[in-house]
Structure 1
């Protein structure tokens, strides 16, 4: 099911769903065994982590504008929180990786969770809403998601919403999370998937080909649901669940879309990115976007593909599959 919102003149309203076309773009990972060391020595780099931290800092410093564009992160964080609250147990402490200003903690109540540790690389983002009182106790920590400071077997639950798509060594980060969890601990997360902003991606490419004669990496590479399912399993998680959702937001034009992405701290952070865009290329992008993907009312849709995942750290009580050949009835008879 495709959720759709309209983002127009600072107003967010829910509208009827519509079918969206898709173009598959993905970021692929080599699958590594759970015994692989943590990523301190990893050399694989796609994103400029310091640039991403500065982007988050700048976005959070303009608190009024960044609060206006919280609509997308709040919506997805609510869905992550729902998945956590669906687990029939109480948690003393939950760690929120890449928490930003606290999108998940807004949707968590004290009936299930006593304390949330908000972790982010951006201190400005962590403290943007520090005066807000939540239903649970909150602790804030400046933490790099690629280098977790938590001891092994120390956490009951880890959640993350719209942060992991900026991690260079995603397999290594998943291994660190699994090690930090206690046996039977749970990991619940959401991240942007490969189809996210396919309309903007194609429009930028066509505009650059027309105006500049080449293509530069304007939109970050993203993974897909199949990769995430494999990575969770190979990182040592069990009882894994991966599902994909799509949210479509309507904007007046591609220019407003890019402005909102910047205000969210979601600007491009690829290492070899172009930091400036020529005015002609920007105007061509907006025109191509409207021509190829525009709505009948003159607005343009932006599709965000969200990958949700749940994984459990194995324990002595983890349900195990029955031994091969132990069935008492034939599946043919049952069906």
Structure 2
């Protein structure tokens, strides 16, 4: 499967890494300190923001049908203060340990996503929420997760991806074209769902599954949207902003007003709210184990697809 340009930007060092080791650390793309500052400044206490609430509900729904018992489970997230301490599978309760990556009671409690220091062969379930969307070394992150799982251990991740915030991205491009000598990257490149499976396979995971949840949301104004994504750490999370010939890096009120003006409105006459597309990419994969289902060898099937479809139509 081909890797898109957006994913390549997030997964630098892929071709230079040794296949048997952890990928080399690429150049810095995301400013994790800036992301943490944005989250803290928009922190609403013990309750998660609206988008995170949707992700947590979806996570519970995805775990609910699983019959496997998980004895040692971990959730990795920028801020773990609002996460549930337990969830349920079909037959068992899961009790979680936590690995905060940006916000904790002290720096000693934080985990570095670029050099994830987890015990090897220790967990049978690891869940990552949001960090993969703002990680420079995606392959290294996934490899360290893989190394921390025991055989038949499960990894689940959810993060912003795909065409998330495309309306905001285009509004800023239009505003920059008007006020600057060139456009700046203000909305980060996102991993696309079609690339997520390849990333899992490259890291060694078996039975990779990927899908996306598209949220078509509306906000009272672009400023309300910006405040929401700031609480997720997604507001201009890049380490550097490309310089322009005629701009010092400071943004004037006219520039911001142009971006707000360029943002699309809903088509209904009496509704001044603005739309926002959020794509949540979900991925899951297992540490290989002999008990897992194996794909059939080509030509070994006992019934053809056409016969199966004909039988289903009768």
Fold shared by both chains (TM-score > 0.5): yes
Give the drift of 1:119: 1.4
Relative to structure 2, which stretch is displaced further, 145-154 or 155-164?
A: 145-154
The residue number in structure 1 matching 2:246 is: none
TM-score (norm 1): 0.78
- Matched positions, count: 292
Note closer, same or farther for the CA distance 1:285–1:313 as it changes in structure 2 (3 Å cut): same
Aligned pair partner of 1:165 in 133, 137, 159: 133
Matched, 1:194 2:178: no
Matched, 1:84 2:63: yes
Q: Residue 190 of structure 1 contacts residue 307 of structure 1 at CA under 8 Å; is this kept in 2? A: yes
The residue number in structure 2 matching 1:178 is: 146
Give the drift of 1:103: 4.9
CA distance in 2, matches of 1:221, 1:250: 22
Matched, 1:118 2:98: yes
The residue number in structure 2 matching 1:137 is: none
Relative to structure 2, which stretch is displaced further, 83-92 or 98-107?
A: 98-107
Note closer, same or farther for the CA distance 1:34–1:301 as it changes in structure 2 (3 Å cut): farther
Give the drift of 1:180: 0.6
CA distance in 2, matches of 1:219, 1:242: 23
Q: Residue 93 of structure 1 contacts residue 116 of structure 1 at CA under 8 Å; is this kept in 2? A: yes
Give the drift of 1:259: 2.0
Note closer, same or farther for the CA distance 1:331–1:46 as it changes in structure 2 (3 Å cut): same
The residue number in structure 2 matching 1:6 is: none
Give the drift of 1:36: 4.4
Give the drift of 1:295: 4.1
Q: Residue 90 of structure 1 contacts residue 112 of structure 1 at CA under 8 Å; is this kept in 2? A: yes
The residue number in structure 2 matching 1:218 is: 186
CA offsets per residue over residues 34-91 of structure 1, 9 Å max, x none?
A: 834224x41332112232233334334xx45x84x71111111221232123211222
Query: Tell me, which stretches of 5 or more residues in structure 2 are unaligned?
Result: 243-248
Partner SS, residue 277 of structure 1: coil
CA distance in 2, matches of 1:36, 1:56: 36
Give the drift of 1:93: 2.5
Aligned pair partner of 1:53 in 11, 25, 36: 36
Aligned pair partner of 2:253 in 268, 279, 285: 279
Relative to structure 2, which stretch is displaced further, 74-83 or 191-200?
A: 74-83
Matched, 1:305 2:303: no
Matched, 1:74 2:53: yes
The residue number in structure 2 matching 1:153 is: 121
The residue number in structure 2 matching 1:13 is: none
Partner SS, residue 212 of structure 2: strand
Give the drift of 1:230: 0.5
TM-score (norm 2): 0.82
The residue number in structure 2 matching 1:255 is: 223
CA distance in 1, matches of 2:67, 2:109: 27
The residue number in structure 1 matching 2:25 is: 42
Note closer, same or farther for the CA distance 1:83–1:216 as it changes in structure 2 (3 Å cut): same
CA offsets per residue over residues 152-172 of structure 1, 9 Å max, x none?
A: 211110112222101100011
Query: Tell me, which stretches of 5 or more residues in structure 1 are unaligned?
Result: 1-23, 128-139
The residue number in structure 2 matching 1:108 is: 87
